[in-house]
Structure 1
Amino acid sequence: MPLGVYNELRATVPLLANQSEDCLYLNIYVPGSGARGVEAPYAVVVWAGGPSHEWGTANALDGAVLAARAHLLVVTINYRLGLLGYLTPGVRSTAVQAAGGAAVLDVAAALGWVRRNVAAFGGDPRRVTLAGHAAGAALVNALLMLPDSKGLVSRVLLLSGSALSPTALAPDAALAREHTAQSLRCTPETTNDENWFVECIRARPLAALLAVEAPKARFLAGWAPSVPISRETASQGQAPTRALHASEAFLDCALAVVVATTESYQFFNEEDIRHGFEEEHRNRILRTYVRNVYRYHRNEIFAAIRNEYTDWEKPIQHPINIRDATLESLSDAAVTAPALRVAQLHARRGARTYFAHFAHQSKDADYPQVVLRVKPCLTSWGCPWWVACSTRRRNYSRGDVAVAEMSVSLLAAFAKTGDPTPRAEERHHDGATSWPRYEMNTQQYLSIGEIFPELYTTTSALDDEEDSTEPEEDSSEVEECEPSPSPRPALSALPAPQPSPKEDSLTNLDSQYYSYTVALGVTVGAGCFLLALNVLVFAGIYLQRGRRRTAHRRPRREAQQRVRTQREAEQRRRRAAKKTRPDPRDIGVDDF
């Protein structure tokens, strides 16, 4: 277990001391001005859970800071978890089966209560934003597949999760029912009722139910919501992508999706995170992911992932580099790519969609040498001002405070107007950061992190700060320096741009595509030029060798020609001499 996950569990354990199925309660945080404040009725933010489908509590996050600084009415809700929240009975006529789990119905019931009663607390029932982080974001996304969820919320915020993630939905609800029936020794013979499974579960004590573990494979969900069943589809439901595409509730609300740089460190242990690992271990991890998540073309997918996330320029791969590349690949596959797909499905129908990459890295993180995430949910809730955050981290830099101020401003603007770009009077900083709308033709998104300049003080001020134990009275007045260079992007699907102090935080994916096209064209052109140059060089060498061969053969041919000429001349002389010599038969006696 990584140190960050351990610290989070350690801080949450005291809040889980009192566990019960009678958990359907909610907490309401109202700004100090009350229902008669200047901004009343207030926009409402409903927080629907945190990092796991099996444990959690609404008390883990204190909404007082967010309500006070953003002037919002904050509601945190509880719902059933684990087997009690996500086991489906297998009978299509039941509401739990149709919704994909009792937890989905719990959230829907809480939203209905908020819509009916929030006006009594100074809230605006027409401006309700439903937010969730990780598993909570998947639950929120699954709720939007329900036809009955239309009108419950007007805005949705998904942080580090979506319904399309492999860890979001139950891979096989029927297998979970069968496994539970075997663990609890439930059989159809025990009762003649068609609801035999439900009756058997009701007859078992709570301790026996909590002891049942869901059949879970690595990188897949255990207890998790199922795809809701519509009236038009078969009993097994439909694909999550198709369900979202057909959901009017999903398309009617404004959607904001936020992902962090590294979303997969919970899949590794402390040793792997701290010291890295070799290629063989990396290959086993990737093979396991491909085998559990995909059904077809597994070898091709594994080869493509390994090729894409391997730095081929380095002949020897360091374990730390292998760890970083593996974290990047699993983050893209398990969280970033599914979340981007949800944003594209929403934007394709013309709905208001916003996408952001949370790239901020705190200097006081659990692993300073690793580019791990600071949870956007904690920062959006104003964690530097939140007392309970001291259990997670104690030292917050001014950069952390600046990022938290910006995150709170973005969340407040989105909850109030549906547009996350803060108005000038609501900004807690001097910058003019705006969050552009995500559209299919431009694909603009916001990058939160390096866009904020690092805040600093002079050396003398730092020395005084180290010697003094009293907090500064006015710590908000700071100077800013040139931003540091942007780190290596950790999202292959979303290349992070280089920040500029004179530009805002817009990142245009389309321009990145054009830059890549130009670079590819230059590379291909250079390759063609080198190929032509090599052809010319080889042609010149071939011609030169031909000339040398001709030069060597010419003297031999001339010598042979001279010998042939001499022989022919000798033969002609002999023939001439033979003709001029008198024949002895023609000599007479008188000649003597």
Structure 2
Amino acid sequence: MPWRRAAPLLPLLLLLPLLLAASLPVHKYSTRVVRTKYGPLRGVVLLQRPVEAFLGVPYATPPLGSLRYMPPVTPSTWRGPRLADAFSAVCPQRAPHIANRTEALLEFPRGRLRHLERLLPLLANQSEDCLYLNVYVPRAGGAPEKQGPLPVIVFVHGESYDWNSGNPYDGSVLASQGRVIVVTINFRLGILGFLKTGAKGSAQGNFGLMDLVAGLHWLRENLPAFDGDPDRVTLVGHGTGAALVNILAVSPVAKELLHRAVLLSGSALSPWALQRDPLAVKRRVAEQTGCHGDLLEDDLAPCLRAKPLAELLAVRVDPPRFLPGFAPFVDGTVLPEAAARPRPAAPDPGLPPPGAPPPSPLPTLADFPRRDLLMSLTSVEAYLDLSAQDLEFGLNDSRRDRVLRTFVRNAYRFHLNEIFSTLRNEYTDWERPLRNPLGLRDSTLEVLGDGHTAAPLVRVGYLHAAQGGRTFFLHFQRLAASPESDYPQRTGSVRGEDVPYVLGLPLVGGQPFFPHNYSRQDAAVSRLLMQYLANFARTGDPNSEPRGRRTEQQSRDDEEEAGGEVPPFWDTYDTINQLYLEMGDSAQMRSHYRGHKMSLWLNLIPQLHRPGGDDLSMRHHHFMEEGAQFYEGPVRPQTLQRPAPTPAPPPAAPRPSPAAASSSSSRPSTPGDDGSSTTECPPNATSRPPSNNSHNLLRRLASSHYQSYTTALSVTIAVGCFLLLLNVLIFAGIYRQRDRAASAGHFGDKKKEELAEAGSCSSSSGEAHCLEAKLQQPPPGAGLPLRDLKCSPQAGRPAPPPGYPDPPPPKCAGNQAGAGILRQQGCPQTPAAAKKRVQIQEISV
């Protein structure tokens, strides 16, 4: 339709000043002059809310000329008061191309396209002189706060490593409602911020990360001038910004610069978070800019400094789908390599066998237990990965398989066929043989969202809690107020919809690039979320109430906005109960977020993603499908070369205690055990904790339910084996008794034949009697004499010892009539005796 077509770029540039002015309410210049270390500043006071804003504050020298591709330098000083009343230019970037709306809909959903149409005009003013930040300070009754230093929240923008800025995100509402200082910051992006220009093994690169560290240094030096507390700095990041916050939380260069971290829909363990092969990106840049030389030894920075900015921004990397192009990488300084785990002299049951691959070179990206962590996920994290056509009409089986095969090939490198089959089977509804396209679309969104965002973030939270860190987990499920055509047929919140609620925009009607039709319930949810976040920044606990900050009338107003409901107590996330807060129309506590699916990604997939033995060819791990018709987007090549081993480990550390070794004997492997090189970052990979760690984090990756199931299964198998052995012994005894009875019967028949030859029982007077047995004298030296009896001795009567005369034979009662098969020859039987012999005969048979 005509009204849906994007406006030309030139009118948007002409309207840029008006759009920037509309992003802030009516304001006036402040009468206060803040004296920073580098010079005095004067900001503006926002009249609609008690906030003092300092916009466009320089925190580093402009990286121009010889400072391009160099670490940031402290800013120059100034003498007179500097007006901080306008946003600075954003860093040079190449934003998504949306001029042709029809082509853009083949790549983006409708809601994403509408969001870009509102956001990109705010990013039109670009310059390399862009290292500035914005500070929002709350005021009490028109005057600065006088109740002690205020906690600080630094918002690190996301969207992409290639474009965006901190300027469009208004922090005034969060500052006024939460009584905290809010800071938004700009840093270098794309080819200027995340290109490895130096030689292999050097730390030349990651300039965007260095800019963030420089900004945190500036805040630590100057926060007291803004009535801020430099010892209570909380970093909040969304998407790629969350990955940057995660990296800074474990970086040694930012050790004292931040104290708490909030990760919204992202972490450094996601496959899109880090660049696995920065030298390959460097090669592409060298080919397109003409800066040739030794790729491993030469530095591209001198050549790139002489290039015009437009030529640098025109470089296209074309990374594989679901993987980044320009992105942070392991440089050994800002993001250090993990120390290789020492191998003891003797085999240790708690350590890998000598033939196992070396540990991953990545640092433990969840190793920040002294810093509190709050993490959040939306319902559909992969909604923006599909096009508008796919979301509206669904997918068929073949297209679903192509998307899934593309993700597996780009995110993993070992046992791709097994991982692909496992994911396809687990995310297929086999109870419905006729699957509709919309159902396949939903399952594809689930597998992609769980694989590249949800499971890595849950892994970070799990490891952080297992190390003793205080962790809080949020599932934001509320549907943001937006036209239904933006996100058609969705079942939950979409990635990025939680950001306006965190910033408090529903309370003021939104911003130019966010929807404006927020409801009263949206405002209540936003107010509650800001209260949790401000409390977390203040004390590390989202449940702590601000001391003396809110009046009774304000508390009553909050309860009325929330429908009279008291906010629930937000319990910590631990490795056993795994509690999290689900925030939709109302907030409530739940446990084990997507337990079965998360167990698949955190336990089974890492077991499958192993390289195997050294004699196993890489062809075993590859997909057989090589044509472009089997994939949906660019894929990385499959090579037969195994990943290079890690460098030699440091000197051996002391051996762990026996208790620690035994506790780690059942540790599952991690996907980092693949022997990747220092420039590789396998997905969901973390290095092993030290062997003497009593908690043994990797062992805790199996849930308590899984451990209980294993114990019960072991007991059942043991009982079954015991019963089987008992049955074998019983049958052996029965068969032995049978053999003995058969042998005794054969011996008795032989004796009967001998007695029949010697004579038989006679009854001359009509009374039955038995003849005495005749002792047959054996030849000399034949041993003891044997006695042949015509009748068996009575039961319970012992046989006489050798050399004694035989006792008189017992008299046989009764007549001999009716002799049967079971009666002995020559002896009558009573009914009781016959019955007893029948029973013995049955047992013998």
Short-chain TM bin: 0.7 to 0.9
Partner of 1:539: none
| Alignment counterpart, residue 125 of structure 1, candidates 207, 213, 230 | 230
1:287 match: 405
Deviation at 1:390, TM superposition (A): 5.2
Q: Structure 1 pair 332/424, CA: closer, same or farther in 2 (3 Å)? A: same
Instruction: Name the residue aligned to 1:319.
Output: 437
Deviations 1:136-159 (A, max 9, x none): 111111223321110100111010
Give the structure 1 partner of residue 586 of structure 2.
451
Larger displacement relative to structure 2 (148-157 or 426-435): 426-435
TM-superposed CA distance for 1:312, in Å, is 1.3
Cα deviation for residue 313 of structure 1 reads 1.3
Task: Mark the CA change 1:65 to 1:233 in structure 2 (over 3 Å): closer, same or farther.
Answer: closer
Question: Aligned match of 2:303 in 200, 217, 228?
Answer: 200
Q: Does 1:346 pair with 2:464?
A: yes
Task: Determine the C-alpha separation between the residues in 2 that align with 1:408 and 1:20.
Answer: 33
**Hey, what's the Cα distance between the residues in 1 that align with 2:583 and 2:362?**
28
- In structure 2, the partner of 1:5 is 112
Distance 1:53 1:444 in 2: 32
Task: Tell me, yes or no, if structure 1 residue 111 matches structure 2 residue 225.
Answer: no
Q: CA deviation at 1:168?
A: 0.9
Q: Rg larger in 1 or in 2?
A: 2
Residue 138, structure 1, aligned to residue 238, structure 2: no
Match of 1:210 in 2: 313
Deviation at 1:421, TM superposition (A): 1.8
- CA deviations 1:453-486 (Å, max 9, x no partner) are 9xxxxxxxxxxxxxxxxxxxxxxxxxxxxxxxxx
**TM-score normalised to the size of structure 1?**
0.72
Is 1:56 the counterpart of 2:56 in the alignment? no
Q: Does 1:434 align with 2:560?
A: no
Match of 1:15 among 119, 122, 130: 122
What is the RMSD of the two structures over their aligned residues, measured on CA atoms? 3.4
Cα offsets for 1:221-261 (capped at 9, x unmatched): 111111241577699xx95753425x5xx332111111111
Establish whether residue 160 from structure 1 lines up as the match of residue 265 from structure 2. yes
**Cα offsets for 1:253-295 (capped at 9, x unmatched):** 1111111111111111001111211121111110110011110
User: What is the TM-score normalised by the length of structure 2?
Assistant: 0.51
Contact 1:43 1:415 in 2 (8 A): yes
Deviation at 1:387, TM superposition (A): 4.7
Q: What SS is found at the alignment partner of 1:79? A: coil
Distance 1:171 1:300 in 2: 23
Note the alpha carbon deviations across 1:329-361, whole angstroms, 9 max, x for none.
Answer: 111001000001111221121111112211112
How many matched pairs? Answer: 466
Equivalent pair of 2:570/2:580 in contact (CA under 8 Å)? yes
Q: 1:241 to 1:234 in 2, by over 3 A?
A: closer
1:375 aligned residue: 497
Instruction: Report which stretch shifted further, 327-336 or 386-395.
Output: 386-395
| SS of corresponding position for 1:420 | coil
Q: Does 1:172 find its partner at 2:277?
A: yes
Give the C-alpha shift of residue 432 in structure 1.
Answer: 3.1
In the alignment, residue 166 of structure 2 is paired with which amino acid? A
Contact 2:525 2:585 in 1 (8 A): no
Q: Deviations over 1:115-153 (max 9, x none)?
A: 110111111111100111001111111223321110100
Runs (5+) with no aligned partner, structure 2: 1-107, 341-358, 560-564, 601-700, 714-845
Please name the residue that 2:537 is paired with.
415
Give % identity: 42
Kept after mapping to 1: 8 A contact 2:337/2:361: no
1:401 maps to 523
SS of residue matched to 1:30: strand
Q: Is the 8 A contact 1:179 1:215 kept in 2?
A: no
Seen in structure 2, the aligned counterparts of structure 1 residues 206 and 436 have a Cα distance that, compared at 3 Å, is same
Task: Specify which of 244, 256, 281 is matched with residue 365 of structure 2.
Answer: 244
Q: Which moved more, 1:405-414 or 1:76-85?
A: 405-414
- Do the aligned partners of 1:39 and 1:71 also contact (CA within 8 Å) in 2? no
- 1:458: which partner in 2? none
TM-superposed CA distance for 1:96, in Å, is 3.6
- Paired amino acid for 1:419: D
Partner of 2:187: 79
The match for 2:730 is none
What one-letter code is carried by the residue in structure 1 that aligns with 2:249? L
Corresponding residue SS for 2:244:
helix
Counterpart-to-counterpart distance in 2, 1:260 and 1:309: 19
* Residue of structure 2 in register with 1:572 after alignment: none
Summarize the Cα distance change of 1:154–1:279 in structure 2 as closer, same or farther, 3 Å threshold: same
State the secondary structure of the residue aligned to 1:108: helix
Q: Matched residues in 2 for 1:341 and 1:312: separation? A: 28
User: Per-residue deviation at 1:328?
Assistant: 1.0
Q: 1:252 is paired with a residue of what secondary structure?
A: coil
In 1, Cα distance between equivalents of 2:314 and 2:162? 12
CA distance in 1, matches of 2:299, 2:329: 21
Residue 398 of structure 1 and its aligned partner are, at CA, apart by: 2.8
Q: Report what 2:139 is aligned to.
A: 32
- Please give the alpha-carbon distance, in whole angstroms, between the structure 2 residues aligned to 1:68 and 1:407: 14
Please list the CA deviations of residues 384-431 of structure 1 after superposition, one character each: whole Å capped at 9, or x if unmatched. Answer: 124543543232223322221121111111111111124288673432
Distance 1:153 1:189 in 2: 39
Q: 1:133·1:160 contact (CA, 8 Å) conserved in 2?
A: yes
Q: 1:406 to 1:384 in 2, by over 3 A?
A: same
**SS, match of residue 369 in structure 2:** helix
Measured in 2, the distance between the counterparts of 1:239 and 1:378 equals: 38
Cα 1:307–1:432, aligned 2, differ >3 Å: closer, same or farther? same
Q: Distance in 1 between matches of 2:402 and 2:151?
A: 48
**Does the alignment pair 1:356 with 2:474?**
yes
Q: Write the distance in 2 (CA, Å) between the matches of 1:41 and 1:125.
A: 9
How far is the alpha carbon of 1:44 from its aligned partner? 0.3
Residue number in structure 1 paired with 2:451: 333
Distance 2:704 2:487 in 1: 31
The answer to whether the aligner puts 1:149 opposite 2:254 as a matched pair is yes
Query: Contact 1:441–1:510 at 8 Å: present in 2 too?
Result: no
Aligned to 2:425, which of 307, 311, 317? 307
Paired with 2:468 and 2:488, the residues of 1 have a C-alpha distance of 41
Partner Cα separation in structure 1 for residue 476 and residue 362 of structure 2: 25
Report the residue type matching 2:582 in the other structure.
S
Specify the code of the residue in structure 1 equivalent to 2:500.
L
- How far did residue 189 of structure 1 move? 7.8
Q: Deviations over 1:99-124 (max 9, x none)?
A: xx100000000001011101111111
- Quick one: structure 1 residues 239 and 5, their matched pair in 2 at CA, closer, same or farther if it must change by over 3 Å? farther
Distance in 1 between residues matched to 2:337 and 2:509, nearest whole Å: 49
CA contact (8 A) 1:45 1:415 kept: yes
Alignment-derived partner of residue 481 in structure 1: none
Distance in 2 between the 1:242 and 1:70 partners?
A: 34
Q: 1:14 to 1:232 in 2, by over 3 A?
A: closer
What's the secondary structure of 2:450's corresponding residue? Answer: helix
Amino acid at match of 1:16: L
